[in-house]
Amino acid sequence: MEKEFDPKIVGFFCNWCTAAAADLAGTSRIQYPANVRPIRVMCSGSVDASYVIKALLEGADGVLIGGCHPNDCHYVNGNYKARRRVALLKSILTTLDLDPDRVWLRWISAAEGVRFAKVVRQMTEEIKEKGPNPMGKSTQT
């Protein structure tokens, strides 16, 4: 019997909003799938495009970047930088005939534990439907 596809999602969470939201979701005992493997960064604006590409090349089926809501960035405007960078990255992925919808950027504030869990659930579902990342190492053999 074929094993059900269990996606690997790399999560880059900003320290001030989304990582705190993830903490809050946990503290509130909100359950969500364990598919997201979290990496705490100081700011969504520090997420280099190469991190995302590296994750996809290493076989991540999805990448979730979480930042503060517009106007709420702890570092004034890092989230806007993230937004521009991700928009550009997605257009590059599209040009390369790769699926831009494997990369998600979401604003999740420190108070939004519920939203954090919802985003993770939703993303896990959608990536499951998409199936494994074709550029991932796991499919290269």
What does the angle CA 119 – CA 123 – CA 125 come to, to the nearest 5 degrees? Answer: 120
For another protein, which stretch binds (CB under 8 A), given 48-56, 93-101, 123-131? 48-56
Q: Which tokens in the block code for residue 90?
A: 């997605």
Binding mask 10-39 for another protein (x = CB under 8 A): x---------x-xxxxxx-xxxxxx--xxx
Chosen residue from 17, 18, 55, 86 binding another protein by CB under 8 A: 55
Q: Is 89 in the site for another protein (CB under 8 A)?
A: no
Using the 8-state DSSP alphabet, how is residue 119 labeled? H
Least distance to another protein from the beta carbon of 138, Å?
Answer: 7
Cα distances from 50 to residues 53, 54, 77, 100, 114, in angstroms, run 5, 6, 20, 15, 30
Q: Which tokens in the block code for residue 17?
A: 């909003």
Chosen residue from 7, 17, 18, 43 binding another protein by CB under 8 A: 43
| Rounded Cα–Cα distance for residues 34 and 65 (Å) | 16
Q: Which residues bind another protein (CB under 8 A)?
A: 8, 10, 20, 22-27, 29-34, 37-43, 45-51, 54-55, 58-60, 72, 74-78, 81, 85, 117, 138
